[in-house]
Structure 1
Amino acid sequence: MESESESEKANLFPLREVPTAPGIIGYVNVPINTSDVRAFKKEMGKLMDDSLGVSERLDEFLGTSIYSYEDLTAILRSLFNTEEREMIRQAGMREWERQNPQSTPGDQKWPSQDPRWNAQTEEGRRNMIDMRNIIIQGIREAVPRGQNLSKVFGECQGKEETPTEWLERLRKSLQVYSGTNPDSPVGEVLLKTQFVAKSWEDIQKKLEKI
């Protein structure tokens, strides 16, 4: 897992359209202050609490600039933990393939390694824009929505319940009420979040130190 200091060191240089001559549009790198990203994180909200709101706020924060694979990856590392990033990626790729069944596979639109897209070509810029949009869509769809999910979030550890029993009850509730697989990336993050947040106070303090 990346440390905060590593993500803070990332240099972000998204592209912006600028007129280079009458009737001619060029693309130049305009640095983003990484402190702005850190400040935005405080205002962004939590993915688990409001995925739709988080997606809208990040969409607005990114604006119309074109971000490289490296820039987008650095921003995601600053804003989300490892489990959340995997949830977002899986949801984004799934939604892309649902909307574009005959197009490029999702794992090529959001590759796991830097594809070195060329920002000076139309194809390269299109790939960057598509990945940015897939990220926003992935955030929007990352957390299952539905009335029954509130039943899972309302669960608390029983006073005489062991951590093992509590975790197993959470797993069953997640599957029964929301239809979410507890072993999926989404399920694992939901379980981890609820297990810590709704455990008895003395156990919660120990878990938060891990």
Structure 2
Amino acid sequence: MNGMRKKSHFHPPPYIHPPPSPPAPPKAPGYHSDSDSATDTPRGTRRVTRSQTRNREGEGRLYLLREVAMGGPQYGMGYVSIPLNTGDVREFKKEMGNLLEDPLGASERVDQFLGSNVYTWEELQAILGILFTAEERNMIRRAGMQIWDQQHQQGPVGDLKWPLQRPNWNNQNEQDRDHMQDLRTIIVQGIRESVPRGQNINKAFSEHQKKDETPTEWLERLRKNLQLYSGLDPSTPAGQALLKMQFVAKSWGDIRWKLEKLEDWQDRGMDELLREAQKVYVRREEEIHKRQARILVAVVREGQKGSPPSPEGCSATTKKTSEEPE
């Protein structure tokens, strides 16, 4: 054993192989999945489709498409599925607001939530199913289809863009992805116009600027009321004129006084009026803080005047009194 090294034998750790994938469900007659269309692509460039990913990951997720560079002998761009947890959609529903009360705000927030991603027909239907009731979905589809047909009188018709049954759109086909993008646009526009707008000017401008409301928040609330209840577009000359009049007349008294002092304020832009109102608001907030500070100082001083003498002071006074001659 002297002078000889003992040989070491290394054994690889045991590896646990993943369980085999479950068998795919039987296909209905005439059904063609995205994976069927991808079988003709060369090896190494095959696209990963949503249906394949969903089978692997389960039904608890939605999948949005994202363009990435594909590897393999033939380089190019392809679209792969990126998971979006349905819990995120349910959490967003709390922030979206009520469709019937604020369809404009709901459409803006849904548009921001969807972002620039590409969603298939299935994913968009699933998202709508989480966010809205069946009645609301019918309202959205009806309004969105009407807007699409008005804007595309030469075709294609809205039924082709928002079919009731799952279309055979291929993720890797540019034209089919255009259909997906158009469907997203129709949905957002449908949410925006789903609630009929009444012709009620009094209801549109029945409120005043709230106590703690900034001029920007007040103007935005006025603009939404104008769209919801009057049927007027705030971006049109008539809408701008009406919006300016109500903004000035229903603002706080000091803001109204300041704006009405401006020469020809009716002819000034809405942005300029908002800036002037913001100046008054800032000065008002500064005065409030200064007044609160003065009150606090006065309270502290008053407390110091009425506070009892300190124990040391009491001792000194007692000692001095005891030393005085009778």
Structure 2 length normalisation: TM-score? 0.42
Q: Distance in 1 between matches of 2:202 and 2:180?
A: 36
The answer (yes or no) to whether the contact 2:60–2:85 under 8 Å persists in 1 is no
Q: Which protein shows a greater Rg?
A: 2
Divergent runs of 4+, >4 A: none
Note the 1:1-150 alignment, pairs <5 A: 9=59, 11-20=61-70, 24-148=76-200
Percent of paired sites with the same residue:
57
The answer (yes or no) to whether the contact 1:10–1:74 under 8 Å persists in 2 is no
C-alpha RMSD of matched pairs (Å): 2.5
Call closer, same or farther: CA 1:29–1:144 in 2, change over 3 Å: same
Q: Distance in 1 between matches of 2:160 and 2:201?
A: 32
Q: Distance in 2 between matches of 1:134 and 1:80?
A: 16
Call closer, same or farther: CA 1:46–1:121 in 2, change over 3 Å: same
The answer (yes or no) to whether the contact 1:55–1:137 under 8 Å persists in 2 is yes
Call closer, same or farther: CA 1:150–1:11 in 2, change over 3 Å: farther
Report how many aligned residue pairs link the two structures.
Answer: 147
Give the partner amino acid of 1:59. Answer: D
Q: Distance in 1 between matches of 2:130 and 2:202?
A: 28
Higher relative contact order (CA 8 A, sep 6+): 1
Q: Distance in 1 between matches of 2:201 and 2:158?
A: 27
Call closer, same or farther: CA 1:57–1:30 in 2, change over 3 Å: same
Structure 1 position 24, deviation (Å)? 4.0
Q: Distance in 2 between matches of 1:150 and 1:105?
A: 38
Structure 1 length normalisation: TM-score? 0.64
Q: Deviations over 1:25-64 (max 9, x none)?
A: 3211001011100000000001101111111100110111
Note the 1:163-202 alignment, pairs <5 A: none
Q: Distance in 1 between matches of 2:202 and 2:140?
A: 21
Q: Distance in 1 between matches of 2:125 and 2:89?
A: 13
Structure 1 position 81, deviation (Å)? 0.2
Structure 1 position 148, deviation (Å)? 2.2
Q: Deviations over 1:102-127 (max 9, x none)?
A: 01111111011111211110111010
Structure 1 position 11, deviation (Å)? 3.2
